[in-house]
Structure 1
Amino acid sequence: MLHTILITLLVIVSIALVIVVLLQAGKSAGLSGAISGGAEQLFGKQKARGLDLILHRITIVLAVLFFLCTIAVSYFKI
């Protein structure tokens, strides 16, 4: 019973994580964008605001839930 609930929760969290990651805007385009984007992220020139900040925080929460659910499924495996 617990194993089934954990598997169901893991599937829901996985789908939600994929959707939230796909909703986020790309940070850079191409090689030049990757270099300048890394510098901006390192020095903090551009702060995430609004929807990007919310999606970033939701991604972190869902990633933590994903790992916890995965560990719990493997621990409580019947």
Structure 2
Amino acid sequence: MRVALTIAQSVIAIILIVVVLLQPSKTNGLSGLVSGGTTESFYSKNKSRTSEAMLSKITIVCAVIFAVLCILQNIVK
């Protein structure tokens, strides 16, 4: 049981790392300073249906599963 939890936690950890690295950065850098910030566009109005939103949801699910696996590993000891 303990080995299976360790393997599952390792797989979830790798998936979590990859998903976090795939997410785009939230900062505009100097372009936000020069242009005065973000503007309204079709993309900004429909963010809930984009790949960015999907990556965010996958990150949350993986983080919750990772936390549950950590707790289960401590209980199984």
TM-score (norm 1): 0.72
- Aligned position for 2:56: 56
Task: Give the C-alpha shift of residue 47 in structure 1.
Answer: 3.9
Structure 2 CA distance, aligned partners of 1:13 and 1:65? 8
Rounded to whole Å, the distance in 2 between the matches of 1:24 and 1:56 is 8
RMSD between superposed Cα atoms in Å: 2.1
| Percent of pairs with identical residues | 39
| TM-score normalized with structure 2 length | 0.73
Listed as ranges, the matches of 1:39-78 within 5 Å are: 47-77=47-77
- Cα shift at 1:52: 0.3
What residue ranges of structure 2 are gaps of 5+ in the alignment?
33-44
**Which residue of 2 is the match for residue 11 of structure 1?**
10
Larger Rg: 2
**Consecutive aligned runs of 4 or more in structure 1 exceeding 3 Å deviation:** 45-49
Letter in 2 for 1:26: S
Taking the aligned partners of 1:4 and 1:53, their CA distance within structure 2 comes to 33
